[in-house]
Chain A
Amino acid sequence: MGKKQRKKIVLPPELPPEVSEDEIEVSDEDLQFVNENRDYAGFVSNLDTKSITRHVSRVADVKEDALEFLYEKRLRKKSLEKESEQKGLEVDRVDALPVKTLDGKLVYRTVPKISQHSENVTGGDQDIGDNEADGVDKSLVKLTKPEKRAKLKRMKKEAKKQAKEVENEEVQQTPQAVVLAEVEKELTALEANERKKYKLAELGTALLTDPESNIKSLKEMLQISKDGDHAIAVLGLKSLLAVFKDIIPGYRIRLPTEKEQEMVVSKVVKKMRYYESTLLSTYKGYLQRLIALEQQASFQLVAIRCICTLLDSVPHFNYRESLLAAVIKNISSADDVVRKLCCATVKSLFINEGKHGGEAIVEAVQLIAEHVKVYDCQLHPDSIEVFMSLSFDEDIGRTEMSKADNKFKNKKNKKRKNSEEPSQENDKKKSRKELMSKTRDEVLTPETVNADFKAASLTQDIMERRRMQTETLSAVFQTFFRILKHAMQSIAARSEGISSSSAGASGGHPLLAPCLNGIGKFSHLIDLDFMGDLISYLRKLSGGGSSSDGSSENFLKQLTVSERLRCCIVAFKVMRNNLDALNVDLQDFFVQLYSIILEYRPGRDQGEVLAEALKIMLCDDRQHDMQRAAAFIKRLATFSLCFGSAESMAALVTVKHLLQKNFKCRNLLENDAGGGSVSGPIAKYQPYASDPNLSGALASVLWELNLLSKHYHPTVSTLASTISMLSTAQNQVYHSNVSPQQAFMELSLEHEPFDLKVDIEKPNHKRRRGSGSSVANSSGTNPGITDWTDEDTVRKRLSEHFSLIHDISENKRLRGELDRTTWSLQLYEQYKKQKKTKQNGSKPLKMK
């Protein structure tokens, strides 16, 4: 208690006037109160830390506390009333210091309780400082140890956070309180800005500490954010973003109907309603402001960033639609940063389904689909790329689905499904796990009623989720097919000779590549009815329109080689995913690939795509068509003679793979006179054939390998030698090969380390040349220099040189002499002058 007294002695001078003022004025939740309260809280936090550390550091205190704690406990048991009082006290104590619950809520402050608490104090006349001290002790009493620790931590954090502001505030607060009105007028614009910044900081912190009681200041912040000054406005937007991100509840606010409003409700509910409506209206205002600002170039980035962050963090909340619309609108923005932001947001929206229950996904996908439609497929590839992060859960309503699907799918289907199950199963498990853990997290926080509800009503939700998923899927595929169709149309337009400007095809097909990737990824979800059309589309596209007449150059410009290759790849992926359900001949795609190989250009086309095509179409192909394999082997070997090491390597790896798989093709490695027994219907090899089956490749010999084994790249040359050594006799076991893609990546120039073995091993001499002889030989480069005969010219030159130099030096000498003479003359003049002055000077002296 002695300590307390000491405290009493120490503290009073600082506090009384302000606090008493506070008590008198602050009975309502108005702005003044907030300001004062901020100050008050800051002050207390400073004081509190001191006292608490003092308490914690001393063992005796703790013991005392414990005793007191026990005593109070007993007391509390005795009287309920008292307990309630103390509870109020406790709450007050806590709220004086910013307390944050796990979900980021700070709600405990109530003003009446403060007054109550002040009344409660026995010495009513006494200064607040005493109160504070008392309060500290009492609150300490109430806290268990972990709580105490947590509180301490919180306070420290808060103190740190506020430290800067508090300093500034404390300096400025007093003058502000006293002469606010006058000073404000006199302030220069800069100071006003500063003030606004402080204000923003104050309001923001207050809101964070206690949103419920300070909810009104949101409006003020919004007002500030509409400031004319750019920096202030940006700051305002940002602080509002931080506040909203923090205080927006985990559920969607439904404003009470008129009927509900008429009903008589308790104070708490009223308060809650007020809070919610204020929050919602400000949020709306904020969003409107953001969306308006997003049009302005100077604010665009900030606005987009705010919108994206909000959409990312509170997708469940009201007005998501407008947020989404704004994001999707900018998803193919020309500005890289903006586009990346939007795409990332949409992606995270797709991935974190649990945050919003999937509705946002449907909306987003539909919006994108609409966007694509409006812009006629002329968008940035990124805008479609986001679909790749979608995940579809096949499990939803599996039972119903399987019932429905049984009509279409035969028994084999199941088998296939089983074979593919493991990977998908894993995915599903993972996603479900994530979902579960997420919901669990939300359950832990008492506020997330919605999630709680969801968890409870999971069974009901299934139908709903399935519906949403179907909608999403249909929108996604609608987009994909639109893009495909668009590409088709432009090709058709070209082939029919319609003017090239039609259908906006001039810019190529930016969306085709991501679209094809998407189809490849989700091909297992495509309705089988579409399959036939899809494949035929792909077939046409992979032909690039050149199948009708291949000579015209314009056609090739329609679709790039990479895009055509992608079409082939996708077709194969689709087929592989639905192999049994479809009865489509993929022969055409092989023909395409066969000719595309010849059209490949290393700089222009993407080698990775080619490698992928080789991998999927040739290496992974399960069919064994010897003719075709031989044709590809031959063509790829030829191909590898013309292009860089990376392409060669990819081709050679494929060749090796094919040779290993089709051991009959190893006849290509043998020079059988007359083609041997296996030669096909075509007796002679046609290197320029466009159909692999008509090339007669089986009749050829892989002589390429000999040249390739002389290749400068050691990897290529060794592989070529290995291939040439594959024997026809034994059927070798498949080695674990590198894929063509891997091979390509490894040898591409970007990965070339350019490392020289620095341990300069002495170059081994194949033939040592005597150094002497080389010198003798080397004079060959210096022609006609045997001996100098032209001495006369040299003599002449020398004399010229001499006369030149002689003249120069003579000139110099003369000039030097001249200089010297003039100099001495000058000297003499000076001497004369000096003499004169001396004489003049001496005369007066003499006179004296």
Chain B
Amino acid sequence: MGKLGKKARKFAKKHLQSVLKNRRKTKVFFKRKSSSKGQQDTVENQVGKTTIPNGRDPEGEDLKNISLDELFTEDDSDVVEDASDSDGFLSEDQEFAKFLASYKKGPEMFQGEEMDSDEDETSNHSMRLVDEDSSIMSQGKVLTHSVINSLCQLIKDEHNKSALKTLLNGYRAACWYGTDSIGVPDNASCQRIQNSGTFCSILMFMLREADNIFRGLLKIPSSSCKKESILELKNTSKWKSLKPLIKSYLRSTLFFLNQVTDSEILAFSLSRLRASIIFFAAFPSLLKRLMKATVHLWVTGEGVLSSYSFLIIQDVAVVFSSECFGICLIKTYKSYISRSKVVDFVHTKHMQFLRNSFIELCSLDVHKSCAKALLSIQQLANILKQGLRKKKESLKKICSWQYANCIDLWVMFISANICDYDLHHVFYVIIQLINGVACLFPGPRYFPLRLKCVQWLNHLSSSSGIFIPVAALVLDVLEYKMGKEGGKPGKAINFSSVLKLPKHWLKSRNFQEECVFSAVEQLSVHFAQWSYHISFPELSTIPLIRLRRFHEIATTESLRRVVKRLIDQVEQNVEFVQKKRDDLAFSPKDHQSVESFLQLEKGSLNAPFTQYYKSVMQKATSRNLDTNGIKSSMECKNLKRKRGRLPSKMLNGGVNR
């Protein structure tokens, strides 16, 4: 039977490639990546180092076709790897088989590091593998519940290695269960795991306990998460004996990650995998695989799953900061950017989460991420330059979510780190960049984009304490066609979920309201930041004039009221500052005294304008929730239908701007 099966397999491998491929495709999973070849590792490392010259385009002329996510080159030749994946799998199995054989005879037979390189004699090995496998199978042919339980007990109590080995074998079978990939006799695995109980208990036990067991065997304290502890052990015999076991466990788990679609299982396995992250130090190729899998889950997953994936990415970046940080950054950046091509509402929240976590990742090593930021911003700037020359293609590119999200990403990064690091060169460029984007699209259809720009500028300004004038940008939004009143109510518009409005929205009353509200919000943010500054009266002079004019012209009472309130508050604050100013004895050139002006009051946060600002912000969030609420409930329904589970609770928690 075994022989025949092998022949059939060979036949299939030779003649039915397309079928195999199809099967692989129909699996829900993304393409797996093997990196079992040592050469490939070095190549990847080199790529990691050389991305900077590759990604840069000093001329900026042939940028036309570069899309945003192609900034950092990376070799993921998935097709090739897919083919080699099966080989790697085979070799692993041979290795395992060999190991089993050697284990019986003695530890001296073990082949050390070569295991990954001897893949060429596949046919030869596969034959042996089958033989070995069947021999093992005859030994523990059917893993029943009781057997597993006893094995677990054995391992727990006595740290019995052979039991562990058997269990790992079973674990592997469980992980590969149902996948009829080449090299695994599926009937064998089917036979060995007969019912779901066994399946569950093996997986659960292994996932739960494997880390502890290995740590116990290697005498690594469970709290330790430094890769040095593994690297130190590398030459000890204990390590050598355990290494294949660990590798088998990690590999199986990784494979399992790719097999499973259920978010709970994924999250659980990820959380367990995270515990044993240090073991990856010994297996760089597996680490790559881990990265790929987790980044994918981070981007596509939802809620908890995404956060768990991110935790792993973060841990990898921290633990292997020297080798892996750059790759982590690039991979996450790329997947973030490619993810931001499509936008819907649920997505925006997820994107915010992704952005925040990415910034967290960046903040781990500001040096390195600053270099990446520079490259990326430079690319953005080059596209903008072309846009300023009115090239249609680049204009289109600029008014896209990818571009906006990219700016958003770096704005957040800069504002998160500008207090602690000197990022001024990037800071200046990104401000000019945002200004340029705002100037490029003056039309009312682009108001959402413009408001986003203002938001960014406000954010940058408030985080850095540097003055960025935004009043003119905001006031243009406010003053748009206020003569025409009373359009149709129109659909609810949420500016945050679009960049460019369809034309027919421009006439709706909602659009006007949205314009006024957003403008008032942004203006109050701007004013609130400088409400204690000595120049506040002058800062508000021109905006006040224009606000008053708007108030005179506007006829819609609700809008007038909002604007009137802002005017009153600003005037009040002007008076307040002016009064304080009149008592001063120092001159404008006395910068230090100017700096200390009203600092006390600022600390107390009780000034009327601050109060007003807070109320405006509250209203803004509630307003956003209102407009979003409709959509989000709809989305949730959809989700329920699809997934049967509601992740929004987690999501809301996950997003804190």
Contact = CB atoms under 8 A, between A and B. Distances in A.
A785 B304 contact: yes
A713 B193 CA distance: 69
Interface stretch (B144-152, B235-243, B434-442, B627-635): B434-442
B442 A603 contact: yes
B18 interface: no
Interface stretch (B31-39, B133-141, B378-386): B378-386
Contact of A794 (B196, B265, B357, B365): B265
Interface of A: 551, 553, 598, 601-603, 637-639, 641-645, 648, 669-671, 673, 687-688, 701-714, 724-725, 749-750, 752, 754, 756-758, 760-769, 771, 774-775, 778-779, 781-785, 787-788, 790-791, 793-795, 797-803, 805-806, 808-810, 812-813
Contacts of B321: 771
A706 B534 contact: yes
A749 B426 CA distance: 17
B268 A788 contact: yes
Contacts of B363: 774, 778
Interface in B536-568: 537-539, 541-543, 545, 552-553
B588 A643 contact: no
Given A781-B357, A797-B262, A802 B537 contact: no
A671 B199 contact: no
A779 B589 contact: no
Sorted nearest first, the 6 A-B pairs with minimum C-beta distance are A805-B178, A754-B381, A707-B535, A799-B196, A710-B467, A782-B307
A712 B459 CA distance: 13
Contacts of A794: 204, 264-265, 268
A778 B360 contact: yes
Q: Taking each of A602, A706, A752, A779, which has the highest tally of chain B beta carbons within 10 Å of its own beta carbon?
A: A706
Contacts of B360: 778, 781
Interface string B414-433: 00000111110111110111
B423 A783 contact: no
18 contacts: A639-B542, A641-B535, A641-B538, A643-B469, A687-B538, A701-B581, A703-B535, A703-B588, A707-B539, A725-B589, A754-B378, A763-B366, A763-B370, A782-B307, A784-B650, A785-B308, A791-B208, A809-B177
A808 B178 contact: yes
A298 to B, nearest CB: 29
A799 B429 CA distance: 55
From A707, A708, A767, A797, name the one whose CB has the most chain B CB atoms within 10 angstroms.
A707
Given A765-B420, A774-B364, A791-B204, A553 B483 contact: yes
Interface stretch (B61-69, B117-125, B310-318, B395-403): B310-318
A785 B420 contact: no
Interface in B345-368: 356-357, 360, 363-367
Interface string B237-269: 000000000000000000000001010110110
B228 to A, nearest CB: 14
Interface in B269-302: 271-272
A113 to B, nearest CB: 63
User: Is chain B's binding surface mostly helix, strand, loop or mixed?
Assistant: helix
Given A763-B366, A764-B421, 5 more contacts: A603-B439, A752-B432, A766-B420, A800-B262, A813-B190
B311 A782 contact: yes
Contacts of A704: 535, 538-539
Contacts of B425: 756-757, 761
Given A756-B377, A781-B360, A602 B435 contact: no
Q: Which residue among A713, A754, A806 has the maximum number of chain B CB atoms within 10 Å of its CB?
A: A754
Contacts of A708: 467, 535
B269 to A, nearest CB: 9
Contact of A671 (B378, B420, B586): B586
B216 interface: no
B342 interface: no
A553 B553 CA distance: 9
Nearest to B542: A642
A775 B432 contact: no
Contacts, number: 248
B420 A767 contact: yes
B471 interface: yes
A791 B656 CA distance: 28
Given A771-B365, A785-B304, A805-B177, A798 B314 contact: no
Contact of A670 (B260, B271, B587): B587
Q: Which of A752, A790, A801 has the most CB of B within 10 A?
A: A801
A795 B262 CA distance: 12
A644 B472 contact: yes
B364 A771 contact: yes
Contact of A701 (B177, B377, B588): B588
A830 B553 CA distance: 93
A754 B432 contact: yes
B433 A754 contact: yes
Contacts of B56: 758
Contacts of A648: 469
B607 interface: no
Contacts of B543: 642
Contact of A638 (B439, B534, B541): B541
Contacts of B467: 707-708, 710-712
B466 A710 contact: yes
A599 to B, nearest CB: 9
B654 interface: yes
Contacts of B164: none
A809 B177 CA distance: 9
A671 B578 CA distance: 13
B465 A673 contact: no
Contacts of B58: 758
Interface in B583-631: 584-589, 591, 594
A337 B654 CA distance: 59
B371 interface: yes
Contacts of B193: 802
A643 B538 contact: no
A699 to B, nearest CB: 11
A61 to B, nearest CB: 59
A521 to B, nearest CB: 30
A837 B548 CA distance: 104
B384 A754 contact: yes
B180 interface: yes
Contacts of B650: 783-784
Contact of A598 (B208, B382, B545, B588): B545
B116 interface: no
Contacts of A767: 419-420
A515 B424 CA distance: 46
Contacts of A710: 465-467
A250 B221 CA distance: 105
A714 B428 contact: yes
A675 B428 CA distance: 38
Interface string B325-336: 000000000000
